[in-house]
Structure 1
Amino acid sequence: MSGLQAALEMETVDTLKKRYAIYFGVRPKQIRKAWLTEALAEGLSDEAYMKPYLQGLSDLERAFIEETVFNYKGFIEKSRFEAKYGDFPENKERHGMFYYGSRLAESLSVFFYSQERYGWDSSSIKMPDELLVVLRELVDEPEADTLAVDTLPETLPDGYQVFEREQVAQSEFHALLMLLQDKQIKVSDKTGVASLATLKKVAKEVHEYYDKASCREAKGMEHIVSFGWLRMMGNSKFTRQSKTTLVQAKKTNNQFADNIKDIWDQWIGNRKFDEFNRIDNIKGQTGKGKRFFTDVAPRRDDIIGYLKDCPSGVWINFGDFSKYMFTTGSGLDITTMPGYLYIYNSDWGEFCNASWDQLEARYLRCFLLEYAATLGLVDVVMAAPNEEGVYYDDFGDMECLSRYDGLRFFRLTSLGSYVLGLTDDYESKPTESKVTSLSIHRQGRIVFDSHPEPWEQQFLSLYAVKSKETDWKLSRKKIMEATQVGGSVAELKAFLTDRESQPFLPEDCEGLLKQAEANREGVKLQGEALIMSCKSKEIVDLIMNDKVLSKWCQRLGKLQIVIPQNKEKAFRDSLNEMGVGVV
C-alpha cells in the first residue's frame, strides 16, 4: 500500500487526532475518522502547510527526512542513520510516545504509516509514496557518502603488522603447485577440507598472519592463509580430488595474474561453501537456522561492488569500509532469521536483534582476509584478534569472536584491480617493503648482508636451499621444479641482480641460469607406457620383425619391450593372431 489516503484510513481515530494536533498545531474541530483522514491527506500534500512544518524541525530531524526520502526509500532506517550521524531523532523521555516499537520523535510520526492493518513490525512502517513525491520537492538531497581513505603512520602501534599479499601470492601459488605435483595435499574424501597435518605443511610454504594462537576463541588463526589457498585451489580447474589426495588436473597459464583471476572467478561462483561457516564461534548455522541463510553469491557480489569503489594502492580502515557499506544500504545480509544463531545457549536468542557489526562485518572480515587477501587482491594490516578495541564481547567473557577480528586496514592491489576487471592488463607496482642486499659467490652461493625479509626467504626457497639464516645455495633440482609449475628463471635472475651490488653475476652462476632456461623443457612427457617381458629371445625377434607391431615397440634389454599404454589391446590382439599369449 503506497497511497497517503489509504495509509491514513488504516489508523485509529485516536492516532489520527494526535497526528492532526502535531501537524497543524491545534486540536481537530471534528473527530469523525473520515473528516480527520481527509484533512490530514490534504494538509500533508499542501506545500503551504508542509514548508513551515519542515522549517520547524530540528537539524537532526530534517536530516532524517532527507535521508528517508532520498536514500531509505521511505523506510525508517534507524541503525543506518545513527551510524552516520551518531544520533537518532527520538523522544528521550521514558514515558514518551512509542511508535511501532520505537520512540520516533512525535514531530516525525506524521510522515510514517503502516502498510498493513495491525502492522506493528517496523518493516511494515513506511512513508507513503505520495508523501515521498511531495517531500522530494521540498527538502535538499543529502550529500553523497564518501569512502574515507587513510595513510598508515610511519610507526604502527605495537602488535600491528603490514602484509603485502600481492608480492608473496605468486611464490605461494608456485609452492602449492609443487605440493600438488608431489601429492602432498590430503583432504577429506567427502568435504574436501584439508587435514590439520596438511594445513601445517602448507603453512610452512606460505606467509601466515600469526605464528601461534593468542586467543582461545581464535582456534586455527595460524592457518588462515593455508586454509584459504586450499579451499580455492580445491575449487579451481587446476586441481582434482583423487580419493583423499588433491592433485594437479590442468596446466596453469603462463601469466600468473590470469591464473589468479581464474581461481577467483571460480570461487565467487561456488555456492557449496559459505565463508560465514568459518565464524565457528557463532553456533546455530546448521539445523533449522541453515535454511534461513542467504545465497552466498549475491553476498560476494555486493562486497566486490564496494571493493571496486576503493582506489587502488590506498589504505582503507576496515571500520570505515564496513560503516560505508552499512550506511549506504549494502544488500549484504547473512540470514533472514538471526534469532536461530547463538554463542552460549540456543535458548537465549543472543542474535535476535543482531547488529551489522555482529554478523555482516564478521563475514566481511573473513571474506577479505581468507580469500581476497590470500590471492593477493588486497594487502592487509593485522593486529592480534584479541587486541584492545578490536572486539567487545556483549555476551560473556570471550576475548575475541573469530580468528579474523585482527583485520585493521586493507588496500586494493594492482592484481586486485585486474582480477576485479578495473584494469585490462596487470602490471605489478614496486614494493614498499625493504629489499635486503646480498652478494653472490661461486657455485651459486648467496649471502645476504642481513636477515632477509620473510617474503624474500619465501621466494628464494623455491629456487635455493638455506644453509644458515643468511646463507643460501641455488639448487638445479629446485629451479627445475619451480619452472615446471610456473616459476621463471628470469624472475630469479631479476631477484638476484636487484640485490647484488655488482653489475653482473659470477660466470658459473650465469651459466647455471642459462643452462636451466635452455633445458627447462628438455624432456616432454608424451604419455604412459607398458613394459612387456618376453619368455624368449625368439619371441622378441618375432615381435620386432612384425610389420605392424614393430611400429609400436622398442627394445628394453634382451627380453623386454616397451609399448604405448593406449596400444595394449591392439598389441594383445595381434599377438593372439600370431599364436602368442599375453598374461
Structure 2
Amino acid sequence: MAVARDVNETTDGSSGAGELTVRLGARDAAADALAVLQLCAAGKLRCSEKTQRPAAATVAAVAGVLLRGDFYREEPIAAFAWPLLLQAGGLAEVVGGRLQLTARGRAALAKPVAETIRHLWRRWVGHAVIDEMGRIEEIKGQRSARALTAAAPRRKAVAEALAVCAPGEWVAVDDLFTRIRRDGPSFAVARDVWKLYLEDPQYGSLGYDGFHEWSLLEGRYVLCLLFEYAGTLGLFDLEYGDPVDARDDFRGNWGADDLDFLSRYDGLYAVRLNALGAYVFGLAERYEPEKEGGGGPGPALKVLPNLDIVVTGEVQPADELFLDAYGQRSSDRVWSLGLASLMAAIDVGRPLEDLRRFLDDHADHDIPATVTRLFEDVTARAGQLRDLGLARVVECADPAVAALIVGDRRLRRFCRPLGERHVAVPLQHEADFRTALRKLGYVIPAEPGA
C-alpha cells in the first residue's frame, strides 16, 4: 500500500519532520548529470584502471559539484555512483588512470539530459561495471568462489520490479519489498550463503537458519540499486534519514553488536516514481521537466564588449565548470575571454561552437562585436592546422627509393612523401604498407632488441 505522508516537501530538501529528508530526484539529477560530464571534460576525475572505481579525491570532487550535495556527508552514494554510471553508459573511459569523455559523452553535453539519464539507466541494468552487492561492505565473504549469484540477472529482476511502481505514489520501502517478493521476478543474492558472514566466517556465518532473511540480503541489494543508482539518476523521489538504527533485521546475528547499521542505504524510508522515472521506464512517451519559479534552464548573463562574461542569475555547478573551460575566472561571477583561453579550450577538444551556443541561449542581448571578432579570429587560427593522426616515419637511402615507394600504385595509398628521403605511413595503414613493400622487394629492418 502507499505510505501515508504528513510531511511537507520544501525546496531545500527538508521534509519538515526534522528526522527525514525528501529529495526530489529529477530536478537534482538533471543538473548533476551535466555537472559531472563537465567535470569529466575538464579532466578532473580519476578511476582505477583495474576496478573502474573512483578514487577518493574524485568522489570528493563529484560531491562538490552536485547541486544539493550528496545524500549523506560522510557516506558517499551519488558521488560514488556517477563516475561508474558514465563508464557503464560509454560516456567516459579510463585512460591512464584518468576518466575521459568519449565521443558519445561529448555529444551528451548537447543532448536533452533526460535522454542521457534514460541511456545511463538502461546501460547500467545491462552493463554495470560493478556488482552493487559489493557496496554492502559489512557482509563479508562476497569474493569467495561461487558465494554470490551472477549480478546481471538479479539486477534485471530488480529493475523490472521497480518499473511497475505507480508514478506519483509514495511507497514505503518495506511495502515495496512485499510487492517485489509477491509480484516481481524472483531472484537470490547468495549462491552459497554459508560463505557470507558478519565479522567472523564461522560464528558470524549467514548460513544458519534464521540469519539470512530476505530483507538482510535481497532487501539490502534492492536498497543499494534503488538508492545509489536509480536514486542518483533521479528516477525516484526519496525520503530518507540517518541509517543508524534504521533497521534491526541484522541485530540477532553474531558480530552485529558493534555495527551502527548494516549498509549506508538502511535509512531509505520511502520512494516515489516521478515523471522522469516514468519516462525512463517507458511508462511515458516524453518527459517534461517541472518549472521552478524564478529559475530557468541556466544562468542569465551579460557578455560585455571588454570580453567579460558576467553572470547575473543563479550559477549552477555545470555552468561554472563550462565557463571555466573557456575563460579566465576573475571573480565569483565574472569570466574573461581571450585568445589564449579559447585556444586552450579548443586544444583539449572543447569546440568553440559550444560556447557560442551557450552565450546565445543564456545572454539577454546580442553578442558584442568585439566578442564576435574574437571568435572569428580564433576560428580562423584553429583552421590553419589539421591533425592527421600518428604516423611512422621511414627514412630511405636516397631520393630515388623514396620516389619509387610513393609512386608505386599499391604503396601510394598507404603513405605520403615527407621531404626528399622520407615517407610517412599512418599507423592504421602500417601493416598494409609493409605487405606491399615486401612485394616491391623492400623491407624495413626491425631495430635490434625491438
SS in structure 1 of the partner of residue 365 of structure 2: coil
Cα pair distance change 1:517/1:401, threshold 3 Å: farther
Cα pair distance change 1:413/1:321, threshold 3 Å: same
Residue 478 (1) aligns with residue 342 (2): no
Residue 167 (1) aligns with residue 28 (2): no
Q: Which residue of 2 aligns with 1:370?
A: 228
* Pairing of 1:17-166 with structure 2 (within 5 A): 145-146=1-2, 151-153=8-10, 156=14, 157=16, 160=21, 162=23, 164-166=28-30
Measured after TM superposition, the shift of residue 279 of structure 1 is 1.3
Number of residue-to-residue matches in the alignment:
415
* Separation in 1, partners of 2:63, 2:172: 29
Residue 493 (1) aligns with residue 359 (2): yes
Measured after TM superposition, the shift of residue 280 of structure 1 is 0.8
Residue 324 (1) aligns with residue 169 (2): no
2:31 and 2:67 in contact (8 A); partners too: no
Measured after TM superposition, the shift of residue 399 of structure 1 is 3.8
Q: Calculate the aligned-residue CA RMSD, in Å.
A: 4.9
Aligned partner (choices 128, 134, 143) of residue 277 of structure 1: 134
SS in structure 1 of the partner of residue 172 of structure 2: helix
2:223 and 2:268 in contact (8 A); partners too: yes
* Separation in 2, partners of 1:518, 1:409: 56
Residue 176 (1) aligns with residue 27 (2): no
SS in structure 2 of the partner of residue 472 of structure 1: strand
* Separation in 1, partners of 2:376, 2:289: 25
* Separation in 1, partners of 2:257, 2:183: 29
Structure with larger Rg: 1
Cα pair distance change 1:574/1:458, threshold 3 Å: closer
Cα pair distance change 1:348/1:536, threshold 3 Å: closer
Q: Which residue of 1 aligns with 2:123?
A: 266
Percent identical residues: 23
1:166 and 1:415 in contact (8 A); partners too: no
Cα pair distance change 1:248/1:520, threshold 3 Å: same
1:482 and 1:488 in contact (8 A); partners too: no
Amino acid at match of 2:332: E
Amino acid at match of 2:235: L
Q: Which residue of 1 aligns with 2:147?
A: 290
Measured after TM superposition, the shift of residue 370 of structure 1 is 2.0
Residue 227 (1) aligns with residue 80 (2): yes
Q: Which residue of 2 aligns with 1:187?
A: 48
* Separation in 2, partners of 1:380, 1:537: 73
Amino acid at match of 2:362: L
TM normalised by structure 2 equals: 0.68
Measured after TM superposition, the shift of residue 470 of structure 1 is 2.8
* Separation in 2, partners of 1:212, 1:340: 31
Amino acid at match of 2:173: S
Cα pair distance change 1:568/1:335, threshold 3 Å: closer
Cα pair distance change 1:545/1:509, threshold 3 Å: same
* Separation in 1, partners of 2:293, 2:164: 23
* Separation in 1, partners of 2:236, 2:382: 32
Measured after TM superposition, the shift of residue 177 of structure 1 is 5.7
Aligned partner (choices 369, 393, 400) of residue 507 of structure 1: 369
Residue 421 (1) aligns with residue 282 (2): yes
TM normalised by structure 1 equals: 0.55
SS in structure 2 of the partner of residue 418 of structure 1: helix
Cα pair distance change 1:580/1:407, threshold 3 Å: same
* Separation in 1, partners of 2:223, 2:315: 30
Q: Which residue of 2 aligns with 1:445?
A: 308
For CA contacts below 8 A with separation 6 or more, give which structure has more relative contact order: 2
* Pairing of 1:522-541 with structure 2 (within 5 A): 528-541=390-403
1:165 and 1:374 in contact (8 A); partners too: yes
SS in structure 2 of the partner of residue 568 of structure 1: helix
* Separation in 2, partners of 1:285, 1:244: 26
Measured after TM superposition, the shift of residue 492 of structure 1 is 2.0
* Separation in 1, partners of 2:382, 2:276: 27
